[in-house]
Amino acid sequence: MRTLKFCIAVTVCLMLIVVAGPAQDKSANKYVGVSTCAPCHKAEKTGNQFGVWQKSKHADSYKALTTPKADEIAKAKGLKKPAAESPECLQCHVTTTDAAVMEKTFDMKMGNQCETCHGPGSAYKSMSIMKDKAKSAAAGLIVYKDDAAIEAKCKTCHNDKSPTFKSFVFKDMWPKIKHAVPKG
């Protein structure tokens, strides 16, 4: 009888593992790039997050580093490489520079993409996962609980460490990039 109970318990555990799948290791997620996100996030009825991004300075943040003015600033700061090659500049002007965490669809020259704020999307990019907020978050999608959390994320780049920093007033800047999914 003990053996039967043990076998049943093991079978139930194995069934749960198969149904639920292994726990998601979010550290294994890779960046897929805005080209992967865009097809599902460019319709008006879903909020046109891609369109909002495309019109923002985030979309051109890498391009800003390719200008003579950017190189002049980098040189004045004592950087040895052009701005578009300097880690000190790239850390805020692109989503990632680490090739080990990029899928083939990711192009760092697209600037600050969706995954800069929402985390690497390889595990949550599919429609079946994205339609379920809890599944998306469990797979690594970063969803901010409130404006204070969003502001803190913004200030990881928009701060006085930048050589061109003027000021950052979240309540004035957030409406320019806000991209909520409409209810319903």
Over residues 9-28, mean pLDDT: 45
14 domain residue, yes or no: no
pLDDT (0 to 100) of residue 24: 56
- Residue 58, CA distances (Å) to 26, 110, 111, 154 in order: 25, 9, 6, 11
Q: What is the mean pLDDT of residues 49-73?
A: 97
Residue 11 lies inside a defined structural domain of this protein: no
pLDDT given at position 70: 97
- Highest mean pLDDT out of 1-5, 22-26, 142-146: 142-146
Query: Does 10 fall in a domain?
Result: no
Closest CA to 53 of 33, 70, 31, 30: 33
Residue range(s) defining the domain that contains residue 47: 26-177
Residue 87 sits in a domain of what CATH number? Answer: 1.10.1130.10
Distances in whole angstroms, Cα of residue 117 to Cα of each of 58, 81, 153: 11, 27, 7
Q: Say how far apart CA 29 and CA 59 lie, in whole Å.
A: 22
Is residue 11's pLDDT more than 90? no
pLDDT at 10 over 80: no
What pLDDT digit, counting tens, does each position of 81-115 carry? 999 999 999 999 999 999 999 999 999 999 999 99
Per the structure, the count of domains in the chain is 1
pTM of the model: 0.83
